[in-house]
Amino acid sequence: MKEVHILSTLKEINLVSNPARLKIIIMLGITAKTAQDLLDALGVSGLKIHYHLRLFEENGIIEFVYTELINGITQKYYN
């Protein structure tokens, strides 16, 4: 079972209060996804997706789960 992260600082709350980031968190709460999965679902630029994922990962809100080689490209899955 996946561990639940409780938002305990103002910084963490501010991170998820952004509408685009909130959508990402909701999507990652269901199953592990790649940046490409999020890009396809949200229609946001790849740079923005990677920026948000990096912020979340640096602050311990999401974690890198595994990689998979798809059509010669290594995809990172986050949860």
Q: Is residue 37 part of a domain?
A: yes
- Using pLDDT thresholds of 50, 70 and 90, give the confidence band for residue 37: very high
pTM as predicted = 0.83
**% residues pLDDT > 70 (the chain):** 97
Question: Strands, E, within the chain: which ranges?
Answer: 64-70, 73-78
Q: Is residue 1 part of a domain?
A: no
CATH code, domain with 38: 1.10.10.10
Looking at residue 2, its pLDDT comes to 61
Q: Is residue 48 part of a domain?
A: yes
Looking at residue 76, its pLDDT comes to 93
Residue span of the structural domain in which 18 resides: 10-78
CB-based contacts of 46, cutoff 8 Å, min separation 6: 35, 36, 39
Q: Is residue 54 part of a domain?
A: yes
- What does the buried/exposed string (b/e) look like for 35-70 if buried means 16 or more CB atoms within 10 Å of the residue's CB? bebbbeeeeeeeeebeebbeebeeeebbeeeeeeee
